[in-house]
Amino acid sequence: MTQLNDSKGSILFLVSIIMPKFILLRKIGQITTPMIDFAQYQYIVEKAIARLGLNPNKCLIKKGNWQLKKGRVKLDILFFEQNGLQYFKAAALIAKVPDNANTDFYKKLLEFNTELNGLAFYINEGTVYLKSVREVSGMDANEAFSMITKVGNYADKFDDEF
């Protein structure tokens, strides 16, 4: 194992698993995680978007971020990093939080969350979204496609509820 340092001061390890294949690992605190090749995962997501009959290049907003629209449903597909780990997220705008929202509104959101497997409602800046998030590592095109379609289908169902 060879130790390196990156520009952010993280400790990197180059590990030979099977000659001549190498995996680059990054040490974050006490956790060592694989460094993600975003080009590989960008290709996987583009494959999933193409499977929907859409042109991924036309949906691309910026590197690692796409926006899909079907009917009233608008999906944001993106990669992000949090606490040194890389994630893939599919999120759909559902509705604005009503000005007169009371505890019943928030209770309804929480109750809907109990019915959803792998999805959750959240509120950001006065807007209700539905999301699915997973770590990028190990994701394949079928998983990306499933996340995107599941969020899209449930968003289509729930936008009528609000």
From the first residue on, what is the mean pLDDT of each consecutive set of 10 residues in the chain (162 residues)?
A: 50 40 46 62 94 95 93 92 92 93 91 92 95 94 95 90 77
Q: Are 55 and 46 in contact (CB under 8 A)?
A: no
30, 40: one domain: no
81, 3: one domain: no
Place of tokens 């290049």: 57
Structural domains of the chain, count:
2
5, 56: one domain: no
Place of tokens 């990028």: 136
Tokens of 10: 């993280």
User: What residues contact residue 2 under an 8 Å CB cut-off, 6+ apart?
Assistant: 13, 14
> Which pLDDT score, from 0 to 100, does residue 14 have?
42
Q: Are 130 and 120 in contact (CB under 8 A)?
A: yes
